[in-house]
Homo-oligomer: A and B are copies of this chain.
Amino acid sequence: MKDFLTLEKQLCFAIYQTSSEFTKLYTSVLQTFGLTYPQYLLLLALWEKDEVTVKELGQTLNLGTGTLTPMLTRMEANGWLRKERSKTDERNVLIFLQDKARKEKQAITNKIAEEILDCHIEIEEYIQLMRGLKGLQEKLKGRT
């Protein structure tokens, strides 16, 4: 049991700090484009599927409106996207990518890829890690 707690403590720090390091790497690349890491994740989601409601986006990103609304407002102000209330159901707000987001996509992802490759991360290792993370996520979610 003592060992278990030590292990648990180490996992806490490992996830917390890896996530933080990861964010920092991305931040350093993204600030050239005037983007934050969460904003980049939001763009990743929109590049995959455009013209979605705030709710849909929230489900994709695991975020509530308390986080999304102000974030979307900022990104709209910066010209990445456009918000428009749905005509058919005025409760919904639809998010549309702006030209800027479509045009810069390549430049952004290329730069990211370049930096990531610079870390010499082995693909196999990468996949292993992701599998582990997803496994843990499932178990964490299942509990709730």
Chain A positions near chain B (C-beta within 8 angstroms): 1, 4-5, 7-22, 24-26, 28, 41, 44, 62, 109, 112-113, 115-121, 123, 125-130, 132-137, 139-144
Cβ–Cβ contact B62 & A113, under 8 A: no
A78 to B1 CA separation, bound complex (whole angstroms): 29
Known A-B contacts A21-B137, A121-B139, A132-B132; A109 and B5 likewise in contact (beta carbons under 8 Å)? yes
Partner of A143, one of B10, B17, B115, B125: B115
| Chain B neighbourhood of A22, CB < 8 A | 12, 15-16, 136, 140
- CB-based nearest B residue for A28: B144
Name A60's closest neighbour in chain B (CB-CB).
Answer: B13
Copy number in the complex reads: 2
Which residues of the other chain, B, contact A120 by a CB distance below 8 angstroms?
A: 139
- The A interface, classified by DSSP as helix, strand, loop or mixed, is helix
Q: Is the CB of A11 within 8 A of B132?
A: no
A-B contact pairs, 24 of them (CB 8 A): A4-B116, A4-B123, A5-B113, A7-B123, A7-B130, A11-B126, A12-B26, A15-B19, A15-B22, A18-B136, A18-B137, A18-B140, A24-B140, A24-B144, A25-B140, A115-B143, A120-B139, A121-B136, A125-B135, A125-B136, A128-B128, A129-B129, A129-B135, A129-B136
Which listed residue, B20, B26, B41, B143, touches A118 by the CB 8 Å rule?
A: B143
